[in-house]
Structure 1
């Protein structure tokens, strides 16, 4: 797996994947929900869970960038699935926020997750469209120092 840097973004050559974006989105939201509404946590445990959720949010953003900047010249089936799943998680988080029986902190976090998932979906679509619109550049194979010239 070789990578080239163009315009500040790493151009990925690997195959498209669906599970990583969706899985990181769900893990980030679930960890945040555990931090906010996990019952009788100590302050230390709540802070650790919140920091873990922030770290996973960063990994989620990086994976969105990696999937958006793949080297395919078109919008593919995997891109549609990633977009639909992110939009679905935004709707699911909105449903949690609109239910009358969760406590107020859980409802606020549901709204925050709704906006976060919707922003992630819009970011993925914008970055993927930008990557598809860029002209493909030829890639040279790397030359190892031990190979004869």
Structure 2
């Protein structure tokens, strides 16, 4: 069933940022207890799932073409990947923060590729399935 919601710009980027920030808090947040670290890691995994679902929802919208919202979503995800790579390249963070930053870089890059692939698939599906004609709709409606 195609998604009927309107295009949104901030949801994909916001979920990406919240997922990365939660994972960063779990890894480099200071002196957490083991329970707090595990809880933050599980929260980050749940947010990663919500992030993936939101990418699918935004990619499978009804519009049959690329929109400016799509370009903005890709640009924001690419920007977060660049920021994560920059953090990994800095000499100041700890080793665990650098490793997580590299993991986030690859994850955000994969999210960009996934969004593009899903959006292209949705657009190709919209082109293949023609809209019902007005005569078919008028015959089935009771008057």
* Equivalent position of 1:53 in the other structure: 44
* More helix, by proportion: 2
- Stretch deviating more after TM superposition (22-31 or 123-132): 123-132
Does 2:97 correspond to 1:106?
Answer: yes
* Equivalent position of 1:93 in the other structure: 84
Per-residue deviation, 1:137:
4.8
Using CA pairs below 8 Å that are at least 6 residues apart, which structure has the higher relative contact order?
2
Report 1:18-37 matches (<5 A).
18-37=9-28
Deviation digits for residues 25-68 of structure 1, max 9, x if unmatched? 00000000000001000000000000000000000000000000
Superposed structure 1 runs of 4+ greater than 3 Å apart: 136-139
* More strand, by proportion: 1
Q: 1:116 aligns with which of 107, 110, 129?
A: 107
Structure 2 gap ranges (5+) = 133-141
TM-score (norm 1): 0.85
Give the conservation status (yes or no) of the 8 Å contact 1:73–1:136: no
TM-score (norm 2): 0.89
Per-residue deviation, 1:130:
1.2
Per-residue deviation, 1:138:
3.8
Structure 1 gap ranges (5+) = 5-10, 140-147
- In 1, the alpha carbon distance for the partners of 2:61 and 2:115 equals 12
